[in-house]
């Protein structure tokens, strides 16, 4: 009996120690008014001494506090004077909820077997109980694009909000785009057997891809008694209801991939990665191709490049007139640093409000959810953050309040729990 009691006690203690994902917040029931803070709308506009009101999960007012009229509505007023209000940050191109511990295979569900998997839906594997998710919310990241990897066509991505019981509740936009991993070019002049083999594999893969897209284009115009999931998953590429996210970095590959997609009849293309986006800026601007830029905290691609080029790239893209947003591809556990990626770009020439747009409104536009999120405007979701200081500066980023669709979030996470635990341990030991 003693052994049994000890075992139960140890299990209970362990469960308490690791149960760090807070219960999702309840639906908003009381109209809320935030007053006195500096409002960063997300579209470049900044309003001092602002007010933001929201009810039933939607923003009803966002502007100067002096211009707000409550009317007959009784608001729960929260004084946030001296603080800053921002839209919830959006993390694109992420395996959040699909990957937990890289060394534990049972926690990995970001990739399907095979080369062409357009019908794979990453969102159905999205784990809302990930320990990583609360750490993102603590830094202001409230939405993410759940993206599969692997093969040439990895599958479809969806946009989710980061406070939900299950993937159905988390959905903001389902299956908004299909992800194509563009095969790298083989270096010219390399006549080695290995290079020739890679070239043959690349050519064969592109031929198969071309045939697959052609078949899907024909399929969309046919009446079929039985649905072909592989084909039907791609029909949205040809009417513009889905985007093709092409993962490519080098300039020649970007141009080749875009032309390939356009020739196949694909309406909307987005470049993910875009290391050489500046080199092909005129081409991207001409064809109105947006970029999810992945390499701010990375080394330059070439030995002769300016060592600070990755830091400066967002500023250059802004000046070139290219619609872009930022992601964090260094590590999944580091994605909570998304605001600081934007902060680095500010330090190297990008306007601060433009940097905010690069992780809010621009991301929302590229992912096709700007009708709901990305900026703080009347009619949009009340998905927002209150920070005690500049959200993009790691020295002053301190999120005091967060709301998703008007629901006030619990901002506890595993890192905060461990800090409190060991702070108590060593304080007691003094």
Say if 206 falls within a structural domain: yes
Query: Do residues 105 and 133 both lie within one domain?
Result: yes
pLDDT computed for residue 92 by the predictor: 97
Give domain status of residue 18, yes or no. Answer: no
Phi, psi (degrees; rounded to nearest 5) at 113: -70, 140
Identify the weakest region by mean pLDDT among 236-245, 305-314, 323-332. 323-332
> Considering the domain boundaries, does residue 227 fall inside one?
yes
| Pair 232, 342 in one domain | yes
pLDDT at 344: 96
Q: State which residues form the domain around 252.
A: 89-372
Q: Is residue 383 situated within a structural domain?
A: yes
- Residue ranges in 70-183 assigned as alpha helix (H): 132-137, 167-170
What is the mean pLDDT of the segment spanning 116-142? 94
Confidence of residue 271 (pLDDT cuts 50, 70, 90): very high
Rounded CA-CA distance 389/85 in Å is 10
Q: Check whether 13 has a pLDDT greater than 50.
A: no
- Please indicate, yes or no, if residue 179 is contained in any of the structural domains: yes
Torsion, Cα of 75, 81, 87, 90 (10° steps): -130
Same domain, 121 and 267: yes
pLDDT of residue 20: 67
Phi and psi (nearest 5°) for 204?
A: -65, -40
Same structural domain, 243 and 165: yes
Residue 208 and residue 187 share a domain: yes
Q: Which residues contact 161 (CB under 8 A, 6 or more apart)?
A: 88, 142, 143, 170, 172, 383, 404, 405
* Structural domain contains residue 12: no
Q: Give the CATH number of the domain where residue 291 resides.
A: 3.20.20.140
- pLDDT of 107 reads 86
Residue whose entry in the numeric block shows the structure tokens 């998997």:
117
Q: Are residues 224 and 297 in the same domain?
A: yes
In a domain, residue 321? The reply is: yes
175 domain-assigned: yes
The answer to whether residues 268 and 303 belong to one domain is yes
Q: What does the pLDDT look like over 194-232, one tens digit per residue?
A: 888 888 999 999 999 999 999 999 888 877 778 888 999
Domains in the chain: how many in total?
Answer: 2
Q: Check residue 15 and give its pLDDT.
A: 41
Q: Please indicate, yes or no, whether residues 34 and 95 belong to a single structural domain of this protein.
A: no
Contacts of 300 (CB under 8 A, 6+ apart): 306, 307, 309, 310
Residues 6+ apart with CB under 8 A from 268: 237, 240, 242, 243, 244
Percent of the chain with pLDDT over 90: 75
């Amino acid at each position: 009996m003693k052994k049994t009691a000890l075992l139960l006690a140890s299990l209970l203690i362990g469960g308490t120690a690791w149960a760090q994902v807070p219960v999702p917040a309840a639906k908003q029931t009381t109209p809320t008014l935030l007053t006195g803070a500096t409002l960063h709308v997300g579209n470049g506009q900044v309003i001092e001494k602002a007010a933001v009101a929201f009810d039933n999960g939607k923003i009803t007012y966002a502007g100067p506090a002096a211009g707000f009229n409550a009317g007959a509505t009784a608001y729960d007023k929260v004084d946030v004077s001296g603080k800053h209000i921002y839209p919830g940050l959006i993390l694109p191109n992420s395996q959040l909820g699909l990957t937990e511990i890289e060394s534990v295979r049972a926690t990995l569900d970001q990739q399907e077997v095979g080369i062409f998997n357009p019908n794979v839906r990453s969102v159905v594997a999205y784990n809302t109980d990930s320990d990583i998710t609360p750490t993102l919310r603590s830094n202001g990241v409230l939405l993410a694009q759940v993206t599969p990897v692997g093969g040439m066509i990895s599958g479809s991505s969806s946009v989710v909000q980061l406070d939900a019981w299950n993937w159905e509740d988390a959905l903001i936009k389902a299956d908004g785009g299909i992800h194509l991993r563009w095969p790298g070019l083989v270096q010219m002049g390399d006549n080695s057997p290995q290079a020739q083999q890679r070239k043959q594999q690349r050519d064969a893969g592109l031929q198969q891809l071309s045939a697959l897209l052609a078949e899907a284009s024909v399929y969309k115009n046919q009446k079929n008694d039985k649905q072909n999931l592989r084909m039907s998953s791609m029909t949205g590429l040809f009417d513009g209801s889905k985007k093709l996210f092409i993962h490519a970095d080098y300039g020649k590959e970007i141009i080749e991939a875009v032309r390939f997609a356009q020739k196949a009849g694909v309406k909307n293309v987005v470049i993910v990665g875009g290391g050489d986006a500046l080199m092909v800026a005129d081409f991207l601007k001409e064809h109105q191709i947006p970029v999810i830029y992945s390499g701010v905290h990375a080394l330059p691609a070439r030995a002769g490049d300016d060592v600070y080029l990755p830091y400066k790239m967002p500023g250059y893209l802004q000046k070139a007139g290219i619609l872009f947003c930022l992601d964090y591809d260094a590590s999944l556990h580091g994605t909570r640093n998304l605001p600081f990626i934007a902060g680095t770009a500010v330090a190297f020439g990008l306007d601060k409000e433009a940097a905010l747009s690069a992780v809010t409104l621009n991301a929302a536009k590229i992912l096709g959810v700007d009708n709901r999120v990305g900026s703080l405007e009347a009619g949009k979701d009340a998905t927002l953050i209150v920070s005690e200081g500049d959200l993009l500066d790691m020295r002053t980023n301190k999120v005091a309040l967060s709301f998703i669709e008007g629901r006030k979030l619990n901002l506890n996470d595993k890192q905060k729990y461990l800090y409190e635990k060991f702070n108590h341990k060593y304080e007691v030991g003094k």
